[in-house]
Amino acid sequence: LLMALSVALAGTGVALAYYFFLQNREAADRVATSFRGVHRMLANKYYVDEVYNAVFVRGLTMDGGEALARFDQRVVDGGVNGAAWMTRLSSTVSIWWDTWIIDGAVRLGSLAVKMLSYPVRLLQTGLVQSYALFIIVGMMIFLSYYLLR
Residue 59 has pLDDT above 80, yes or no: no
Q: What is the pLDDT of residues 98-128, one digit of tens each?
A: 999 999 999 999 999 999 998 888 878 888 9
SS3 call for 127: coil
Q: Is position 128 within any domain?
A: yes
Which residues, 6 or more positions from 134, have their beta carbon under 8 angstroms from its beta carbon?
Answer: 123
Q: Is position 129 within any domain?
A: yes
Question: Is there a contact between 52 and 59 (Cβ–Cβ < 8 Å)?
Answer: no
Q: What is the pLDDT of residues 22-47, one digit of tens each?
A: 888 888 888 889 999 999 998 999 99
Q: Is position 5 within any domain?
A: yes
Q: Is position 60 within any domain?
A: no
pLDDT score of 35: 92
Q: Domains in the chain: how many in total?
A: 2
Q: Is position 32 within any domain?
A: yes
Domain extent, residue 33, equals: 1-43
The verdict on pTM exceeding 0.75 is no
Q: Is position 90 within any domain?
A: no
Residue 4 has pLDDT above 90, yes or no: yes
